[in-house]
Every structure is written in structure tokens, then in C-alpha cells.
Amino acid sequence: MKAAANFFTDLKRRNVYKVAIAYALVGWLLVQVATQVFPFFEIPARQILARLTELAKTRYLPAYAFAVVYMAPGEKDQVLDWLEKNVRDHASPTINLITIDPYFDPLRGEPRFQALVSQVLSGSVK
């Protein structure tokens, strides 16, 4: 038990939590910018997804990022699958953004999306 306490104390001392949150927020921000800028350059969502998949092999990318990109072609099932994965894996604090992100407005009537929002609002997802 003491080893676990020392482990978490060491993580806090080294600011690992802050860095993880910063990575998640920067990843989310990059995806948000990309979804706004790429349509002007006519880069299809499939190319972005291929690149994200390649990047995910070597570094952490939140499932939320994939969900946002899948919104571009309107693949609601894929979006919901990725959001559910994010919740299931407790992967990223960015999942809290689904309650306010206008990008997900087309999903607001979907029962699966409403269930995810309920989980987030209940506080069971951190």
C-alpha cells in the first residue's frame, strides 16, 4: 500500500498529471483547428483518419480526436464507437466537452449519445 502511495506522490511531484492533461487538451485543440482549416484545403477526412491512425501507433491520441474527425463525413456510428471507447477507457478528460461541443449537435437526438452525456453529467466519467 505504501508503494502505491509513493508511486502516486512521485507522479504528482513530477507533474505527470499536468502533462497528461496538457497533451489531451493540445490534441483536442489540434483536432478542432484541423476540422475548421482542412475543408478549405479540401483534405478529405479519410486522409486525416489515416494519418491519425499512423500517429496513434507511436503516441497517445485521445479517442475523442478520432470521434471529431469521423463527424466530418457524418459517420455517426463510428463517432459514437470512439466516444464510448473514450468513456470505457477513461482515456481523456476531453470527453466532458461532448456536453457543450456544437460539433456533436447532429448526435443530440441519438439514444447512444444521450446515454454518454448522462454518464458524463452524472460524474461517473472523470
What pLDDT, in 10s, does the model give residues 34-89?
777 766 555 677 788 888 888 888 888 888 888 888 888 788 899 899 888 888 87
Give the residue numbers spanning the domain of 12.
2-122
Angle, CA 62 vertex, CA 7 and CA 85 arms, to 5°: 95
Number of domains in the chain: 1
Is pLDDT above 70 for 1?
no
Grid look-up 463527424 returns 71
What's the whole-model pTM score?
A: 0.60
Q: Which residues contact 27 (CB under 8 A, 6 or more apart)?
A: 61, 62, 64, 65, 92, 94
